[in-house]
Amino acid sequence: MKKIINEPTKVVSEFLKGMEKAHPELEYTEKLEVLSRREKSDKVAVISGGGAGHEPAHAGYVGMGMLDAAVTGNVFSSPSPDRIIEAITKMNAGKGVLMIIKNYSGDIMNFGLAKDLAELEDIQVESVVVRDDVAVKDSTYSTGRRGIAGTVFVHKIAGAKAETGASLQEVKAAAEKAIENIRSMGMAMTPCTLPAVGKPGFLLGEDEVEIGMGIHGEPGVMRTTMKTAQETAEILLDKILQDYDYSNSEVALMVNGLGATPLMELYILENEIQTLLEEKQIKVYKTFVGNYMTALDMSGCSVTLMKLDEELKKLLDAPCNTPGLKIG
Amino acid sequence: MKKIINEPTKVVSEFLKGMEKAHPELEYTEKLEVLSRREKSDKVAVISGGGAGHEPAHAGYVGMGMLDAAVTGNVFSSPSPDRIIEAITKMNAGKGVLMIIKNYSGDIMNFGLAKDLAELEDIQVESVVVRDDVAVKDSTYSTGRRGIAGTVFVHKIAGAKAETGASLQEVKAAAEKAIENIRSMGMAMTPCTLPAVGKPGFLLGEDEVEIGMGIHGEPGVMRTTMKTAQETAEILLDKILQDYDYSNSEVALMVNGLGATPLMELYILENEIQTLLEEKQIKVYKTFVGNYMTALDMSGCSVTLMKLDEELKKLLDAPCNTPGLKIG
Amino acid sequence: MGFHLTSKDYANYIRKAYRLIHEKGDYITELDSATGDGDHWININMGFEKLVEAANELEEMTVFEEFKKIGTIMMSVIGGSSGVLYGSAYLAAAKTLKEKETIQNENLCEVLDAMLQAIMSRGNAQPGWKTMIDSLAPAVQCYKDCILNQVDEKTCLSRVKQAAIDGAESTKDMEAVRGRATYQANKGVGHLDPGAVTMSYQIATLMDCVLEKL
Amino acid sequence: MGFHLTSKDYANYIRKAYRLIHEKGDYITELDSATGDGDHWININMGFEKLVEAANELEEMTVFEEFKKIGTIMMSVIGGSSGVLYGSAYLAAAKTLKEKETIQNENLCEVLDAMLQAIMSRGNAQPGWKTMIDSLAPAVQCYKDCILNQVDEKTCLSRVKQAAIDGAESTKDMEAVRGRATYQANKGVGHLDPGAVTMSYQIATLMDCVLEKL
Ligand SMILES: Nc1ncnc2c1ncn2[C@@H]1O[C@H](COP(=O)(O)OP(=O)(O)O)[C@@H](O)[C@H]1O
Ligand SMILES: Nc1ncnc2c1ncn2[C@@H]1O[C@H](COP(=O)(O)OP(=O)(O)O)[C@@H](O)[C@H]1O
Ligand SMILES: [Mg+2]
Ligand SMILES: [Mg+2]
Ligand SMILES: [Mg+2]
Ligand SMILES: [Mg+2]
């Protein structure tokens, strides 16, 4: 394993220290692994978080127009409730706190417990759960769909809504509208290596890819041979369009890299996706190409669509200034 | 080789088509592989370019406050003079054109020939050559130092100066001042694979890294075992500080990923660099962490320092809005 | 007459459980990589490492305080799904030990039962869903049966141990409903659940520790 | 009486050179990977591919037009260092062919010399600097010597071919001054220069083509 680290157990705290030094407008709370905006504003606080390993998510989306704080767990592990409570109490300005949770058992349980505890302290906390990954069957019986790259759109929408001075319920409603309209689908070409494990968690053959693999290297839905960019675009988009009707609508498109995929390849894929969307008369209002929600050093990609109405367009276009996303 | 591409010979044009679609403010000139700003402004034009494979460089730095156009060659191959002339004639607004060239024989020759030809058409063309890589001995006899990640700072400075309405000579002077004050040093952990070749150009052992490797996988100055982030920071920074005296000055710091290195690791390295710079009383004015100048799918990093005076600070802080860098 | 488990005994159990868990690193990581995200061992191992560091302190506490402390440490150090589940389990178990000086046979059964209820409610999960519950639940059931049937302590403890181990083994054929194995097309069938296996290590070690006291 | 190389002959030479270059892909890529950036073969191969596509057209031109066209194609298709160097070389060589119908012995020597001068001036490079020049320069020198000494054409052409091949071979022990091999600590010593090797392929193939005409 070749990684630019010191000790596997210290990666999270050193990463966040580095973020604080690189971005003086952000503040790091040691031990609790919370990164927050230094200037607390008088509005609904929007927080998110989860296991580390998805950089720039989530710490990279802290800043004007997106998150007020991000809570980081160990690599691929949900943060514990005490960390989450720190973010809640620190950023609550009396208007309440919205938690944006990706749909994983661990996150649901930890954020859920933190919410219960915060409410005992009379802090108003609401939560929304992102479940955009169409690789996983939705189900009310099981945990259901995972939250993946689409989460970044939810951060953007909720953050922009909060900046308008909206109420907690309104911010929550905007986030939920976004969630309703977001679907994603991913593909992995190489495994990822947890720093503390030191070797990849699984193997893929020289010419194999895994469609639908999760952002923690959880097994996908289909293993197949490497396809062309065009075929890959078709496979990923088909799965999304089968699940949700985007026809005759305007969408935001995100082509996301999982960490080790060159930007050139992401744009090549994006080019194919645009062609397909045009054929299907789905109009792309805004496009995002880059590493937004990664899986350590995995190579691969995901495609996300968010259907837009006038409100979502306005919120998407609203300015934001975070290390991971700048608009306006 | 697993790459999200269609055909190796088409990667450059498909990538640039994807960029045009994702960023409607940019325009792609087919065949000549030029990406330019759609709105031509009445100022000195700043152009750059080089072989593909360094994305977001150079096409990703086209936009307000940086480049007016980028010319792309095949992967790792300098663009031919006809492509460069297209960028020059297209973006010249009568105030002249500054070409920012990375110091490689091929680029020097191709841009040089293009300059000669453009001057025959009565277009004023000036050029500056970036040679920031301290891994290579500087020399007037041989080609001398390569241009690597520091080039992005030169784009920023020259672009900002041009936006002020400065003359070609003034823009050139600002770019040269930046170049004088920039040094970089890199390290590679894995090789890169040219799409048309399909297998890595060299091999590194399970625990080996190469200090000073170029952004085309050109051999470095020393092969050694994988070091901790702290040791890596020391090795790279020492080499830079041995070459140029940054003591008691303010600097811009860039910790650049070569393509496949997770952002988390770049911030961990940056954290160590900041500690070392603090010890040496070098004040960091602004920090950049991310994939700015890559080498296809190589994993590794580089560190760049630019010494700042008041003019450079102002130009660095000036707003820019490009796919690869947004400020203000 | 039966056993009396002191807070010192429990601290010793922690040390012993840590050794076993620590040793099984590659195996557990492999299990979580096959159906999950590969971090289960790192996290639980780190949790036990911290518990062992605190063991001298734990020895001096009442069992109530000791369980509360263990729960707090586990919740914050382990993180992930297991952290909050074990944290909730220990905090719930602590409640059954208020004002107790030692843990005796019936108490131990109550402790395990409280843990089970806490995990099921926090995890919103049932037995048979391919989780740590599938090791703990049969162990608790077995314990209750033994007490009901007045089985002698030694036999009882050995049976509980075996039930936990068999329970973990039984997850192999189960389809996951909770946890990351649900994302797999075949719901993880054919693979052991890592959380059930580490649960069985803890129960087995605990039973061994108690058996030594008899 | 000596050879008369027509534009059709030269187009045939292009086809033949392409076959040889195409065949040597792995070898040349390996050479450029060892001391450079690994793209030399891809680029020159692509250039020749385009030349072959244009070969029918080239056959119909005067040799002057043919060389100009080849230069333009090479410059724009090959790119990199080699593209601009070969482009300059062919454009300079074209000038020596103005108003000529065929290429005869002395003309061919002039063509190669013009190419050499163009490459040296565009590349700002000298013989001995571990570049393509180190195959071309000795070939030109040899050609000039043969003409001076009135060596018969057959012997002359064979010697030129050998000089190009030996010249490429001689780059193995040279230290690079231009090109990417300069970035290496040992300046590429011990490795052949890829550009010199592909240059020697072209010269050797060209000489073979001419020899067939005798
Ligand atoms: N909702 C749940 N209820 C009970 N146990 C669960 C639940 N979700 C996960 N588990 C248990 O946790 C184990 C995984 O723990 P861990 O790897 O720490 O968490 P994560 O899945 O968040 O990475 C699983 O093997 C399973 O036994
Ligand atoms: N300045 C120069 N003068 C003459 N030949 C050169 C010069 N620079 C490079 N070359 C030749 O070009 C070859 C490399 O070509 P190529 O791989 O296409 O270019 P690049 O180095 O830009 O990738 C070298 O092997 C060398 O023979
Ligand atoms: Mg996890
Ligand atoms: Mg090249
Ligand atoms: Mg896990
Ligand atoms: Mg080359």
CA angle D115, D117, D121 (to 5 degrees): 120
What is the pLDDT, as a whole number, of residue A144?
81
Cα A193 to middle of ligand 6, angstroms: 33
Cβ within 8 Å, pair A262-B21: no
Contact C62, C92 (CB under 8 A): no
Domain boundary at A136, A152, A180, which?
A: A180
Question: Residues enclosing ligand 1, CB less than 6 A?
Answer: A 77-78, 104-106; C 32, 36-37, 39-40, 43, 80-82, 85, 119, 123, 125, 131-133, 178-180, 193-196
Considering the domain architecture, whether residues B22 and B80 belong to the same structural domain is answered as: yes
Residues contacting residue B162 through CB under 8 Å, at least 6 positions apart:
B43, B44, B45, B46, B68, B98, B171
How many helices (DSSP H) and strands (DSSP E) are in chain D?
Answer: 10, 0
* Cα separation, D98 vs B88, whole angstroms: 31
CATH at A291: 3.30.1180.20
Give residue-wise pLDDT tens across range D69-103: 999 999 999 999 999 999 999 999 999 999 999 99
Point out the ligand nearest to the CA of residue B74.
4
Residue D118 has pLDDT above 90, yes or no: yes
Task: List the structure tokens of A264.
Answer: 């050139």
Contact A66, A159 (CB under 8 A): yes
Considering the domain architecture, whether residues A200 and A298 belong to the same structural domain is answered as: yes
Cα A38 to middle of ligand 3, angstroms: 29
Considering the domain architecture, whether residues B123 and B80 belong to the same structural domain is answered as: yes
| Domain coverage including residue B67 | 8-180
Q: Whose CA is nearest to atom 6 of ligand 2?
A: D131
Considering the domain architecture, whether residues B167 and B193 belong to the same structural domain is answered as: no
Catalytic, B155? Answer no
What is the pLDDT, as a whole number, of residue C189?
86
**D193 is a domain residue:** yes
Query: Is residue A47 within a helix (H) or strand (E), and if so which, with residue range?
Result: strand A45-52
- Number of folded domains in chain D? 1
β-pairing, A208-211 vs A182-188, is antiparallel
Out of D33, D76, D80, whose CB is closest to B106?
D80
The residues with which C80 forms a beta bridge, in sequence order, are: none
Considering the domain architecture, whether residues A134 and A212 belong to the same structural domain is answered as: no
CATH at A69: 3.40.50.10440
Average pLDDT over residues A86-104: 97
For residue A19, the chain B residues in CB contact (below 8 A) are 267
What is the pTM assigned to this prediction? 0.95
CATH at D140: 1.25.40.340
* Cα separation, A206 vs D121, whole angstroms: 46
Among D24, D40, D42, D177, say which to mutate for ligand 2: greatest number of ligand atoms within 8 Å of CB: D40
The ipTM, to two decimals, is 0.93
Q: Mean pLDDT lowest for which of A144-148, A226-230, D54-58? A: A144-148
Give the distance from residue B262's alpha carbon to the nearest chain A alpha carbon, in angstroms: 6
Considering the domain architecture, whether residues B46 and B141 belong to the same structural domain is answered as: yes
Average pLDDT over residues D138-147: 98
What is the pLDDT, as a whole number, of residue B219?
79
Considering the domain architecture, whether residues A152 and A192 belong to the same structural domain is answered as: no
Neighbouring C-alpha atoms within 13 Å toward the C-beta of D104: 6
**A80 is a domain residue:** yes
- By C-alpha distance, which of B60, B50, B47 is closest to B99? B47
* Cα separation, B133 vs D72, whole angstroms: 33
CB atoms within 10 A of CB B76: 33
Give residue-wise pLDDT tens across range D28-73: 999 998 888 899 999 999 999 999 999 999 999 999 999 999 999 9
Considering the domain architecture, whether residues A213 and A125 belong to the same structural domain is answered as: no
**C62 is a domain residue:** yes
Considering the domain architecture, whether residues B197 and B153 belong to the same structural domain is answered as: no
Query: Three-state DSSP class for A62?
Result: strand
Point out the ligand nearest to the CA of residue A201.
5
Q: pLDDT-based confidence at A52, cuts 50/70/90?
A: very high
Domain boundary at B161, B180, B199, which?
A: B180
Between chain B and chain D, the number of residue pairs with CB atoms below 8 A apart is 121
Give the distance from residue A108's alpha carbon to the nearest chain B alpha carbon, in angstroms: 24
What is the pLDDT, as a whole number, of residue C185?
67
Query: Three-state DSSP class for A138?
Result: coil
**A239 is a domain residue:** yes
What is the pLDDT, as a whole number, of residue D1?
60
Q: Which amino acid is at D207?
A: M
Among A75, A105, A192, A296, say which to mutate for ligand 1: greatest number of ligand atoms within 8 Å of CB: A105
* Cα separation, A295 vs B263, whole angstroms: 11
Catalytic, A58? Answer no
- By C-alpha distance, which of B313, B319, B64 is closest to B177? B313
Considering the domain architecture, whether residues B151 and B205 belong to the same structural domain is answered as: no
**C1 is a domain residue:** no
**D31 is a domain residue:** yes
| Domain coverage including residue C43 | 7-213
For residue B83, the chain D residues in CB contact (below 8 A) are 76
Q: pLDDT-based confidence at D187, cuts 50/70/90?
A: confident
Give the distance from residue B82's alpha carbon to the nearest chain D alpha carbon, in angstroms: 7
Q: What is the 3-state secondary structure (H, E, C) of chain B?
A: CCCCCCCHHHHHHHHHHHHHHHCCCEEEECCCCEEEECCCCCCCEEEEEEEECCCCCCHHHECECCECEEEEEEECCCCCHHHHHHHHHHHCCCCCEEEEEECCHHHHHHHHHHHHHHHHCCCCEEEEEECCECCCCCCCCCCCCCCCCHHHHHHHHHHHHHHCCCCHHHHHHHHHHHHHCEEEEEEECCCCCCCCCCCCCCCCCCCEEEECCCCCCCCCCEEEECCCHHHHHHHHHHHHHHHCCCCCCEEEEEEEECECCCHHHHHHHHHHHHHHHHHCCCEEEEEEEECCCCCCCECEEEEEEEEECHHHHHHHHCCEECCCCEEC
- Number of folded domains in chain A? 2
Query: Is residue A19 within a helix (H) or strand (E), and if so which, with residue range?
Result: helix A11-22
Q: Which amino acid is at A279?
A: E
User: DSSP character for D169?
Assistant: H
Out of B17, B264, B287, whose CB is closest to A55?
B264
What is the pLDDT, as a whole number, of residue A142?
63
Cβ within 8 Å, pair B74-D37: no
**C207 is a domain residue:** yes
Considering the domain architecture, whether residues B159 and B62 belong to the same structural domain is answered as: yes
- By C-alpha distance, which of C4, C146, C136, C134 is closest to C63? C4
* Cα separation, D170 vs D164, whole angstroms: 10
**B69 is a domain residue:** yes
Q: Do chains B and A touch (3 or more CB pairs under 8 A)?
A: yes
For residue A141, the chain C residues in CB contact (below 8 A) are 177
Query: Three-state DSSP class for A296?
Result: coil
**B96 is a domain residue:** yes
Considering the domain architecture, whether residues B54 and B108 belong to the same structural domain is answered as: yes
**C2 is a domain residue:** no
